[in-house]
């Protein structure tokens, strides 16, 4: 069986390299001997309803509006989630998964897909820079997530959604001290990077959630060693930057 990793509307929601998230998911399955293919669909193409993981990336205001309209008309993403697929949505993709979001200088409100119990409105500052969050994994242990955020919207979570991670450095959702939201098999978050190459533990979590089973350890010592080194460097850089900023206040 070949599992589909589906990039949804790359031309609309792909300005921050978020396609890299899909590439990581497919490669980490392939490395374990599990067949996977990367599928990219654009507006006007049917979104397959048999995807393992769907990905929505970052985009401009007009792209969000166009993406919501096309996805509501197509309904393939909705059918795919109903069939057991997992959705990972980043930044603009995260915002449009909520009930509503604002765009433009006049903060016009548009309806979202309603897949997450969240609302997004313009914040009092633009969040730009490295973000570091603490993610509590399903087994109760904690892991850090690093990435880069660039968004003007602040997201408020309703009672049906839970935060994805706690912010240590950066802005995330806004004033609540958290980043992202989780509701069922839909996960939204603000960091780009793209975020999954930086944080392969999150990639494996998405795959395990979608497969309904644990994954074997990655049989690539070289990849694991390189990742550990790069991850340590990123954590050191973001914390050093934070400490310098605090000392100059």
- Total residues belonging to the chain: 249
Residue from 3, 78, 151, 192 carrying the catalytic annotation: 192
CA 15 to chain centre: 14
* Catalytic site residue from 3, 91, 97, 151: 91
CA neighbor of 94 nearest in space, from 24, 18, 20, 145: 18
> Residue 24 and residue 52: Cα distance in Å, rounded?
14
* Burial degree of 103 (CB within 10 A; 0-12, 13-18, 19+): buried
In terms of Cα–Cα distance, which of 179, 94, 93 is closest to 134?
A: 179
- For the question of residue 227 being annotated catalytic, the response is no
The Cα 5–Cα 155 span in angstroms is 27
Dihedral of alpha carbons 13, 79, 86, 51, sign: negative
91 is catalytic: yes
Structure tokens at 180: 């992202």
Give the residue numbers marked as catalytic.
Answer: 91, 192
């Amino acid at each position: 069986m070949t599992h589909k990793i589906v990039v949804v509307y790359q031309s609309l929601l792909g300005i921050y390299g978020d396609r890299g998230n899909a590439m990581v998911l497919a490669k980490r399955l392939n490395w374990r001997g599990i067949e996977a293919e990367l599928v990219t669909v654009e507006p006007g193409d049917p979104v397959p309803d048999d995807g393992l993981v769907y990905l929505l990336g970052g985009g401009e205001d007009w792209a969000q509006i166009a993406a919501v309209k096309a996805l509501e008309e197509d309904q393939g993403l909705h059918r795919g989630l109903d069939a057991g697929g997992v959705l990972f949505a980043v930044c603009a993709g995260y915002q449009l998964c909520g009930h509503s979001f604002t765009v433009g200088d006049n903060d016009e409100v548009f309806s979202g897909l309603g897949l997450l119990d969240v609302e997004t409105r313009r914040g009092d500052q633009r969040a730009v820079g490295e973000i570091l969050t603490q993610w509590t994994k399903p087994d109760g242990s904690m892991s850090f997530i690093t990435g880069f955020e660039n968004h003007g919207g602040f997201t408020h979570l309703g009672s049906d959604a839970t935060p994805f991670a706690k912010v240590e450095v950066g802005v995330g959702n806004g004033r609540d001290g958290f980043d992202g939201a989780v509701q069922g098999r839909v996960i939204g978050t603000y960091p780009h990077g793209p975020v999954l190459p930086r944080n392969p533990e999150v990639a494996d979590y998405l795959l395990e959630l979608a497969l309904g089973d644990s994954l074997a350890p990655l049989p690539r010592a070289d990849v694991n060693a390189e990742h550990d080194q790069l991850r340590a460097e990123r954590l050191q850089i973001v914390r050093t930057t934070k400490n310098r900023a605090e000392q100059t206040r």
